[in-house]
Amino acid sequence: MKHGRFLVLPDGEALAGSVYVEMHGTVGYFGLLWIDPARQKQGLGARLIRIAEGACRDAGCAEIELAVVNLRTELPPYYQKFGYEEHGTRPFPDTERSTLPCHFVVMRKSL
């Protein structure tokens, strides 16, 4: 997290949501998408995804990617609704803390 930044959606003095973005040349990355549980199902996740994509586009990125743990089977279909496609896998970095075998599914989209 030393190379990116968090984008936030304020809600008064609290946060409604946040997302982490990072740029690597022409490929942007977003992750750690978080929405306050009391504010879920209001379109805020979609709004933060658009904000993350815009930040990467404005920084000159031609593509954007994210990585989800394969055990979260509901996530790839969610991101596919926004045009993301599976683009391979990556090893999970901390297998000692995981209780089940897992890996990351990398998803990517052209900007």
Q: Where are the domains of the chain?
A: 4-110
pLDDT digits (tens, 9 = 90+) for 21-65: 999 999 999 999 999 999 999 999 999 999 999 999 999 999 999
Q: How many CB atoms are located within 10 Å of the residue 17 CB?
A: 21
Q: Of 39, 11, 35, 8, nearest to 21 (Cα)? A: 8
What fold, for 4-110? Answer: Aminopeptidase (3.40.630)
Question: What is this structure's pTM?
Answer: 0.91
Q: Which residues pair with 7 in a beta bridge?
A: 19
CB-based contacts of 75-79 (< 8 A; 24+ apart in sequence): 76/105, 76/107, 79/107
